[in-house]
A and B are shown apart, each in its own frame.
Chain A
Amino acid sequence: MPDPTPIVATPAPAPAVSPAATPTAPAPAPTIPTPDALLIPASMKKGATQRERADTVCSLAESILGAKPGQTAFITVQPGGWMFARFDFNDKLGYPTVGPPPHGDRYVWKTQPSGIRYGYLKEKANA
């Protein structure tokens, strides 16, 4: 008499796992592109002397704009309580009003939670 067919327990199918239950690594924080220029509220100037105030604003601007060693940011005090910061003092907020196009603002401004506005050159975005 042949051996009976051995009974092999069939493993139970794995329970369905909801995708929501699968742990995943947290999404990396979005990086903010380095701006080309800044508009810093004048209230951020700190210091009792002119040089101290210049130093606090320049240091802040250089850290955000990514200064190379020895590179300094130039600050322009704009009416309305803003300081325009960039590396090249020849950079203006807008295109010349006289002459061929383009005209208007040179930058696209994004306000940050700190109150500082990050400026991105339109000509770079269109390149």
Chain B
Amino acid sequence: MAATNLQKNWKDVSHGSVDLTRVTNVSFDLGGQNQGFAGDNDIFNSVVVNMMNSPTASVTTGDPATLMAIAPGTDATLSATHIDAKGATGGDIIYVLTNAVAQGGQTSGGHAEFGTATMQFMAYAPDGQTNPLSFTRSA
């Protein structure tokens, strides 16, 4: 079956050696910070420059214990696979966020509802140049 080019659900989510299951949401943000410049008689920015980038990620899971056990400050690679909508071979997109530092987690659970936990990660680039977020599609 050819890839649908649509993605549905996540699998193989991990932060270092910690496998995260019952994942209900994963998000990645490139965290670009632009700054505009205007001078003279400009009424719009005449130049916009990407000044800094701070990639982040967020994982929500129905397994609060595992996620909340990741201590803030833990530095590891966050991986997640966005599955092809119809499970086609080669249709998955694999994301990898290197040097993803756990920032903090929140957990909650309402009455008669499943408990959830969400953790945010902030990534850095040891060389100051390479975007920590990489992607590929499955073979």
Contact = CB atoms under 8 A, between A and B. Distances in A.
Interface of A: 47-52, 54-55, 58, 70-80, 84, 89-90, 92-98, 106
Which 3 residue pairs are nearest across A and B when measured between Cβ atoms?
A: A94-B127, A49-B5, A96-B126
Nearest to B127: A94
Name the interface size band of chain B.
20 to 34
A74 B6 contact: no
A117 to B, nearest CB: 14
B134 to A, nearest CB: 4
Interface in B81-102: 84, 91, 93-94, 96, 98
Contacts of A47: 5
A92 B125 CA distance: 8
Contacts of A98: 126
A72 B93 CA distance: 11
A72 B138 contact: yes
Given A51-B91, A79-B50, A94 B130 contact: yes
B134 A75 contact: yes
Interface of B: 3, 5-7, 30, 32, 50, 53, 77, 84, 91, 93-94, 96, 98, 125-131, 133-139
Given A79-B50, A79-B53, A54 B135 contact: yes
A20 B96 CA distance: 59
B126 A92 contact: yes
Contacts of A89: 77, 96, 98, 134
A51 B5 contact: yes
A84 B136 CA distance: 12
A52 B127 contact: no
